[in-house]
Amino acid sequence: MKDIIILGIESSCDDTAVSVIVNGKIKSNLISSQWIHKKYGGVVPEAASRQHVESIVELTETALLEAGILKTHLSAIAVTRGPGLLGSLLVGISFAKALTLSLKIPLIEVNHLYAHLMSLFIDNEPNFPILVLTVSGGHTQLTLMRSFFDIEIIGQSIDDAAGEAFDKTGKLLGLAYPAGPIIDSLSKAGKAIFKFPISNVADFNFSFSGLKTAVLYFLREQLNKDSEFIKKNLSDLCASIQTTICQTLIQKLKLAAVRTQVKAIGIAGGVSANSQLREELTLLCNSNDWKLYTAKLSYCTDNGAMIALAGYYKFLNQEFAEDTFQPLARYPII
Ligand code: KG4
Ligand code: ZN
């Protein structure tokens, strides 16, 4: 049978990422992260689009070279359609459209959240059904996956995403953007001695805006008494915030697993790289005899491989896109 070779392109936010996969196996996976946003404390959309324009051509050429694939060998190109920043998405989509037109190959549009789910199966064979919690900078979503194409949303955040909770509380602590990985590493030297509220909204939904407000008021009060409070307690503050976020997520995952009787759990998205979340979930799954699906760290945060793999399964399903499709800032997974 002819090899199925997919080029995957991701440009939904502040990372340009390109990957080449052959018959579902990763041959190259490159990323160009944009550091320009650090000094602004968050992603500046206009700057992000410009950086995508600058890096996408060279990154694609290098990804093909590293995979040992000529562009004329490609079976199809998969690209993120949304959700994300419109200007950023437009760069990847326009590039993918132009390339597929010139190569006369099919174009595949991919939902970024669907691709995060697929990141779990880059190195793992799925045994459905699986409960997957996607925790990223923009989304917190609990899904029940019955197959690659039968997905049901059973819960989500009613306000901030888990990644935002890390990034926004980190900003209050004076940490650079994105604060999630910094909090993760500083927490290792700290203890969760400060107690913040663990939200418990209805069903399998989540809420994180209360944590941000609780941290804000707590810091204000403490800084009034001692202006060095954050500096003196940074690791403990990080450990306390991280513990609160992990407990909020784990409490709902546990409830969902018990109620649905599903014996496999997955975590995807940038926050799934968090070491405490991974450790605590490993313990929970071991003690209940549930299987845990996690992605390799480089596949947790945004990457091209997950787009390419999602594209591969859509290719097998013959799900191709018209070259007139537009980017979507909001794009529900189902
Ligand atoms: O999936 P992702 O790369 O982009 C989105 O689709 O949003 O996720 C980025 C988010 C950021 O909020 C970042 O702070 C968080 O993932 N993140 C982490 C860690 N690594 C990335 N949060 C906690 N611990 C980490 N180790
Ligand atoms: Zn993402």
Query: In DSSP terms, which residues pair with 22 in a beta bridge?
Result: 5, 25
Query: Which residues neighbour ligand 2 (ion) by CB within 5 Å?
Result: 136, 302
Q: How far away, in angstroms, is 103 Cα from ligand 1 center?
A: 35
> What's the pTM value of the predicted model, to 2 decimals?
0.95
Atom nearest to 166 CA in ligand 1: 14
Atom of ligand 1 nearest to the CA of 12: 6
Determine the distance separating the centroid of ligand 2 and the alpha carbon of 114, expressed in angstroms.
10
What is the rounded distance in angstroms from the CA atom of residue 34 to the CA atom of residue 40? 12
What digits encode the pLDDT tens for the residues 8-35?
Answer: 999 999 899 999 999 999 999 999 987 7
Task: List the Cα angle 89/92/63 in 5-degree steps.
Answer: 140
Q: What is the position in ligand 1's atom list of the atom closest to the CA of 275?
A: 26
Give the ligand with the smallest distance to the CA of 273: 1
Pick the atom of ligand 1 nearest to 15's CA: 3
Cis amide bond preceding 83, omega within 30: yes
Q: How far is the CA of 116 from the centre of ligand 2 (A)?
A: 6
pLDDT tens across 287-318, in order?
A: 999 999 999 999 999 999 999 999 999 999 99
- Could you read off the pLDDT of 52-67 as tens digits, one per residue? 999 999 999 999 999 9
Of the pLDDT bands very low, low, confident and very high (cuts 50, 70, 90), residue 39 is confident
Residue 256 alpha carbon to ligand 2 centre in Å: 23
Helix (H, G, I), strand (E, B) or coil at 201: coil
61: left (phi over 0), alpha (psi -120 to 50) or beta: alpha
What average pLDDT score do residues 277-295 get? 98
